[in-house]
Amino acid sequence: MLPTLTGCHNDLRWPLSRPFQTSFPRTLVFFDLETTPLEPSWGDIIQLAAVSGDHTFNVYMMPEVAINKRTTAVTGFKVNDGKLLQDYNSVSTVTLHQALTSFIAFLRSLKQPVLLAAHNARQIHRNKLEKVLYRCALTDQFKQLGPRYLDTCQLSKALFPGLGSYKQNNLSYPFLGKTDIAHNALMNARALQELYGRWNPDQESVIQCSF
């Protein structure tokens, strides 16, 4: 079963609070992924989610390797009787190829071009996403969108130097007053969008942290 794309077309542009005044305005899309094992640089992707204003995208995939007990304890994900569970609730899964094809379709449904924002996008998210796109022979389709990335971890360091930690869950309390950040890609993507809105970054900072 393929995922459902929710929301209708809007004109969300980056930064969120005002139009981005350049010759190439981009729609901002916040995304996150969950992997097993926990090390996202090499683990299987088991959840891919994205938000852009009221638009949401969320899919789950069955991992190719077993989910170890440590990962289950931290994330709540486990496989039981051939089903993927998240916090003891069964979730519908799709193949990796279906997930990526649907993700590309979701991005195409938005005003083009797009800017993909993730915390540690430069070190983790871009590499992981583009590896599986290549594996599924979807690189060309993805590149047709002309996407760029925004690393919100790098952005937070540029905007607020001297903080003790720049992990997303450690940024949520001082800026949003929230402490409960789950290992759920959709919740994290929504929280990142909210953080970005609270930061209200200037145009130059966003450009410097984009690639």
Residue type, 56: T
CATH number of the domain encompassing residue 89:
3.30.420.10
Q: Is 11 within the bounds of a domain?
A: no
**Coil, strand or helix at 163:** coil
Residue 23 clears pLDDT 60, i.e. is over it: no
Q: Is 87 within the bounds of a domain?
A: yes
Q: Is 13 within the bounds of a domain?
A: no
Q: Is 45 within the bounds of a domain?
A: yes
Residues of the chain with pLDDT > 70, as a percent, come to 84
Q: Is 158 within the bounds of a domain?
A: yes
Domain carrying residue 194: 27-208
How many structural domains compose the chain?
A: 1
* This prediction's pTM: 0.85
pLDDT per residue over 92-107, tens digit each? Answer: 999 999 999 999 999 9
Q: How many Cβ atoms sit within 10 Å of the Cβ of residue 187?
A: 16
pLDDT per residue over 104-160, tens digit each? Answer: 999 999 999 999 999 999 999 999 999 999 999 999 999 999 999 999 999 999 999
Structure tokens at 24: 């190439």
Q: Is 14 within the bounds of a domain?
A: no
Q: Is 138 within the bounds of a domain?
A: yes
Cα 174–chain centre separation: 21
CA distance 161 to 170: 14
Q: Is 98 within the bounds of a domain?
A: yes
